[in-house]
């Protein structure tokens, strides 16, 4: 199916199998009610990461990209433990009688989740060592283990250790004066078993060496020594071979890697905040020393030592992960950039720059001519930056308002905002300080913006500002009369130039009076103290988005009951909110055909007779991270299409500021349907289809192979 085909294809159930993302919940598929019509969230997250890891097993995938997918899985699992598992452990301590939404006790659920996580980690390391690394060696990309070094390699490694590592390493010998150190979250550490007596006559038993994060985890060996075009040595290999030199005069028994993952949620008491930025400044250091949730150790670690490490961390056996190799595979993410082999990577793509029709002098003229839709990463993010830069320099622009959730530590967009301040514009920036893992970056930007003279606010305490909005106010002259005209950019993704090349997102530029007025009202709510303001076009969390969505689903059900065509197609990152799921079940029972494209976790069970037989769920995993949020309702032929920053989750509906905005231009609406929905429903290469028990099966190509992302790349970029 061509990417510009606006028709919605029929569902095709040709599908390899992944294990279910569901606990044993007593579902009776053929007859009778479903006792627990929700799937487990944590198992759904693990199922998503199994789909990500499956990309590394695909021989059609470029080899270095297969390695990247292994690293991405590790990065995802780090956050899974830091946030989701940490939360489960707290709930088991605080409310042990609590049941999970799928009806299991917390203890039962945790056991099943831990077992599945262990299997996933085992499969990940097996894939790395049995498949990807041997294939890389065949291509001349090799990891040199300490055991394999020849005399020349050993001399080079020893010199590197002495000059680059030894001066910054601090060994800690454990004794009553030196208790077990509290290691940083996700830091690389070495437990060194020793024997003998030190200079003070103390018995040496165990030493700990923490590897500073400034040290490279991957070092390239000179090709003339390696014997391969690309030879690499892991930091752990240097340590395994030379760590004894940190403990001179003692006998080295073993050196073992370990890593502790900690609870990384920040606690800021809403009732006691007087300065959110200062409160976060005080909390951020604590993230490195939160409660331990996972212990990773190298596979060869002796049982007694592993028990000691586990006891020091306060963790159980099921929280300990023995791994065959490096305890932090995320650090291998740098390898593809260190290897100049384009044939082992994705073909680079240059995002298309939309041709504005007719050609105009400014972005404002172009928007006045008609709404502009941008589809990233296939189309460039540059028009968004150009709009802001022109606004910063245009003497007719009087004000700019912007939300920032994630933008990166190096941002041309933020530079443009500061340029606008210097040029005398009234600049207001709503910076979300609680964007998880970007808090410090956002605090730094907030301080720089304030120093430049921008008005910086942090939204509403208790409601993260996740909406992606830019509002520009410009003085215009029409028929000799000066007026103020608004221009808006709304998006499904962050104002982040780097991720705009990696994530699929839509952005809309418009001067539509009603939409611009609504965005103005949302900014009023974020920066001032107002009652709830009525919006005519936007659906907004935490006020109307949930209710409007439920109403739109119910209208489709009414159309179906009346014998009219009814259809819902929605694309998002996650679907968890129970009342929305209940509304979808009700609509399915009424005869509404519902197609859901959910990249990550989905708690809805599709295809259950009498409940959801008219619902399909699929997940697209490919080169780009699918990030669109698109909501389509047939609406008795009107075909309502909304784009949004919000997933269908409790937090997005009730604890965040989000917006969903309509696509009003019929031409652009057909584009969104074609490029954002139809082509994905037709994908039979990168799509995984969920069955009623939560099991995902990969669709297999039929006579015609269809890959949504490749089709869009061919349309826009190649």
Separation CA 710–CA 680 (nearest Å):
11
Q: How would you class 589 by CB atoms within 10 Å of its CB: exposed for 0-12, middle for 13-18, buried for 19 or more? A: middle
Q: 3-state SS string over 253-264?
A: EEEEEEEEEECC
CA distance 176 to 665: 73
* Among 617, 619, 545, 631, residue whose Cα is nearest residue 588: 617
What string of DSSP letters covers 36-72? Answer: S----HHHHHHHHHHHHHHHHT-TTS-HHHHHHHHHH
SS3 673: helix
Is 618 annotated to bind ligand?
A: no
* Residue 436, annotated as binding a ligand: yes
Q: Collapsing DSSP states into helix, strand and coil, what is residue 186?
A: coil
3-state secondary structure of 556: helix
Judge residue 265's burial from the number of C-beta atoms within 10 Å of its C-beta, 0-12 exposed, 13-18 middle, 19 or more buried. Answer: middle
**In this structure, what are the phi and psi dihedrals at residue 555, rounded to the nearest 5 degrees?**
-65, -40
Peptide bond into 585 cis (omega under 30): no
Burial (0-12, 13-18, 19+ Cβ within 10 Å), 697: middle
Q: Which tokens hold the place of 6? A: 């606006």
Partnered with residue 477 across adjacent β-strands are 482
Known catalytic residues? 466
Give the C-alpha separation, 428 to 402, whole Å: 6
Residue 406 in marked binding region: yes
CA atoms within 13 A on the CB side of 696: 31
Tell whether residue 423 is among the known ligand binding residues: no
**HEC string of 606-667?**
CCCCCCCCCEEEEEECCCCEECCCEEEECHHHCCEEEEECCCECHHHHHCEEEEEEECCCHH
Ligand-binding site membership of 84 (annotated): no
Q: Report the alpha-carbon distance of residue 38 to residue 34 in Å, rounded.
A: 9
Ligand-binding site membership of 700 (annotated): no
Are the C-beta atoms of 514 and 488 separated by less than 8 Å?
Answer: no
CB 567 within 8 Å of CB 635: no
Cα–Cα dist 209/151, whole Å: 26
Annotated binding site for Mg(2+): 406, 436
Annotated binding site for ATP: 76, 503, 599, 627
Annotated binding site: 76, 406, 436, 503, 599, 627
């Amino acid at each position: 199916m061509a990417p510009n085909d606006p028709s919605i294809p029929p569902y095709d159930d040709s599908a390899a199998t992944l294990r279910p993302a569901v606990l044993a919940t007593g579902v009776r598929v053929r007859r009778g009610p479903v006792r627990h019509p929700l799937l487990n969230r944590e198992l759904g997250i693990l199922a998503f990461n199994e789909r990500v890891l499956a990309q590394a097993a695909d021989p059609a995938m470029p080899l270095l990209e297969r390695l990247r997918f292994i690293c991405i899985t590790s990065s995802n699992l780090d956050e899974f433990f830091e946030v989701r598992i940490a939360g489960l452990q707290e709930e088991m301590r605080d409310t042990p009688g609590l049941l999970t939404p799928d009806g299991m006790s917390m203890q039962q659920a945790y056991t099943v989740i831990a077992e599945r996580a262990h299997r996933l980690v085992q499969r990940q390391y097996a894939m790395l060592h049995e498949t990807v690394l041997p294939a890389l060696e065949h291509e001349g990309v090799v990891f040199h283990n300490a055991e394999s070094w020849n005399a020349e390699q050993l001399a080079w490694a020893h010199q590197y250790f002495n000059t680059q590592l030894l001066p910054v390493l601090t060994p800690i010998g454990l004794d009553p004066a030196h208790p077990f150190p509290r290691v940083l979250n996700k830091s690389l550490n070495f437990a060194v078993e020793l024997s003998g007596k030190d200079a003070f006559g103390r018995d040496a038993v165990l030493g700990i060496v923490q590897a500073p994060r400034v040290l490279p985890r991957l070092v390239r060996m000179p090709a003339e020594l390696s014997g391969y075009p690309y030879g690499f040595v892991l930091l752990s290999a240097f340590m395994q071979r030379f760590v004894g030199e940190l403990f001179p005069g003692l006998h080295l028994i073993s050196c073992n890697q370990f890593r502790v993952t900690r609870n990384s949620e920040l606690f800021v008491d809403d009732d006691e905040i007087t300065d959110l930025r200062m409160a976060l400044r005080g909390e951020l250091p604590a993230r490195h020393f939160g409660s331990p949730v996972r212990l990773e150790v190298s596979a060869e670690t002796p049982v007694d030592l592993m028990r000691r490490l586990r006891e020091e961390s306060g963790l159980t056996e099921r929280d300990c992960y023995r791994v065959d190799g490096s305890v932090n595979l995320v650090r291998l993410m740098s390898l593809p950039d260190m290897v100049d082999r384009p044939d082992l990577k994705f073909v680079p793509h240059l995002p298309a720059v939309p041709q504005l029709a007719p050609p105009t002098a400014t972005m404002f003229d172009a928007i006045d001519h008609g709404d502009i839709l941008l589809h990233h990463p296939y189309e460039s993010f540059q028009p968004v930056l150009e709009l802001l830069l022109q606004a910063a320099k245009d003497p007719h622009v009087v004000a700019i308002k912007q939300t920032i959730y994630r933008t990166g530590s190096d941002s041309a967009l933020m530079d443009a905002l500061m340029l606008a301040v210097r040029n005398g514009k009234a600049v207001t920036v709503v910076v979300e300080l609680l964007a998880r893992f970007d808090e410090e970056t956002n605090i730094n930007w907030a301080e720089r913006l304030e120093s430049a003279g921008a008005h910086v606010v942090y939204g509403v305490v208790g409601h993260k500002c996740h909406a992606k909005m830019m509002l520009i106010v410009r003085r215009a002259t029409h028929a000799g009369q000066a007026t103020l005209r608004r221009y808006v950019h709304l998006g499904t993704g962050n104002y982040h130039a780097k991720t705009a090349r990696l994530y699929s997102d839509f952005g809309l530029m418009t001067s539509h009076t009603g939409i611009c007025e609504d965005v103005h009202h949302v900014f009023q709510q974020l920066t001032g103290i107002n009652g709830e303001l009525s919006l005519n076009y936007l659906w907004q969390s935490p006020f109307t988005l949930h209710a409007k969505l439920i109403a739109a689903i119910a209208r489709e059900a009414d159309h179906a009951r009346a014998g009219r065509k009814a259809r819902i197609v929605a694309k998002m990152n996650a679907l968890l909110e129970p009342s929305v799921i209940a509304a979808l079940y009700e609509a399915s029972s009424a005869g509404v055909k519902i197609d859901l494209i959910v990249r990550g976790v989905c708690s809805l069970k599709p295809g259950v007779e009498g409940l959801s037989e008219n619902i399909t769920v699929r997940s697209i995993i490919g080169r780009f991270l699918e990030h669109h949020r698109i909501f389509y309702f047939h609406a008795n032929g009107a075909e309502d299409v909304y784009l949004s920053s919000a997933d269908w989750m409790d937090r997005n509906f009730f604890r965040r500021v989000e917006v969903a905005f309509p696509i009003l231009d019929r031409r652009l609406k057909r584009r969104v349907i074609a490029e954002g929905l139809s082509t994905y429903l037709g994908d039979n290469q990168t799509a995984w289809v969920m069955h009623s028990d939560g099991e995902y099966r990969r669709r297999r190509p039929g006579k015609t192979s269809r890959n949504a992302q490749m089709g869009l790349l061919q349309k826009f970029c190649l």
